[in-house]
Amino acid sequence: MIDTIIWDLDGTLLDTLDDLHESVNHALKQHGLPLRSRQEIRRFLGNGIRNLIHQSVPDELPEQDFEEVFKTFRTYYMAHSQIKTRPYNCVLETLAKLKTAGYKMAIVSNKVQEAVSDLHRRFFDKYITTAIGESEGIMRKPAPDMVYQALRQLGSLKEHAVYIGDSEVDLLTAQRAEINCISVLWGFRDEDYLIANGAKVFARNPQEIIALLSPSVPSNA
């Protein structure tokens, strides 16, 4: 029986694409580098912000210059991470129903801890108990460490948990943590891509998560 839900953040609970796209291009422009399209940034997301910037800058960029671009991006994004970022449609209503149904919930994200904590406080702290982001001393997804930390904080067992995310990183995280996975189709990856990476259970909208986990809880209540 599932009693615990571990949520990915970007592309699953929150539509963060516009703020990330603007922040990446701000940093690229400041350093005289070619800008990236919204679709390119969507494709680059899922493995943390350092990887996002590595993917966004030219391959031949020296490491010292990369660090300057990354610093510019991080400073700008921390000040502009909540301009256009919003929960996806029906996410908050779904979280409220799941909390009422008794599910324990956590966020696990490769976004830096400071940003994860800010977004958790702003949007989700009424529903989700804990939020774990990238920080020193714990390996990022797809390592299972953050998931295990969330389970410890919630007092939950992996056998009774499900991971919900939108990317191949989330699929691999769930596999390595040895927990069930639901892939959402409103995020940063397409269904065919997820299937090619091993996805088997899908939710096309947040209400379908209720139907998958709690058939007794009316999704339109």
Average pLDDT rounded to a whole number, residues 96-125: 94
Residue 220: the pLDDT is 44
Residue 189: the pLDDT is 94
Q: What is the pLDDT of residues 129-186, one digit of tens each?
A: 999 999 998 999 999 999 999 999 999 999 999 999 999 999 999 999 999 999 999 9
Residue 122: the pLDDT is 94
Show Cβ contacts of residue 81 under 8 Å, excluding neighbours closer than 6 positions. Answer: 16, 19, 23, 115, 118, 119
Residue 12: the pLDDT is 97
Of 2, 9, 1, which is closest to residue 173 (Cα–Cα)? Answer: 9
Cβ-based burial of 132 (10 A; exposed 0-12, middle 13-18, buried ≥19) = buried
Residue 8's CB is within 10 A of a number of other CB atoms, namely: 28
Q: What is the CA radius of gyration of the chain?
A: 17
Q: What is the pLDDT of residues 173-217, one digit of tens each?
A: 999 999 999 999 999 999 999 999 999 999 999 999 999 997 544
Give the residue extent of every domain in the chain.
Answer: 4-15+86-213, 17-80
Confidence category of residue 218, pLDDT binned at 50, 70, 90 = very low
Top-tier CATH class for 17-80: mainly alpha
CA dihedral 74, 78, 82, 84 (to 10 degrees): -30
Output the CATH code of domain 4-15+86-213. Answer: 3.40.50.1000
Q: What is the pLDDT of residues 5-35, one digit of tens each?
A: 999 999 999 999 999 999 999 999 999 999 9
Sign of CA dihedral 26, 32, 38, 44: negative
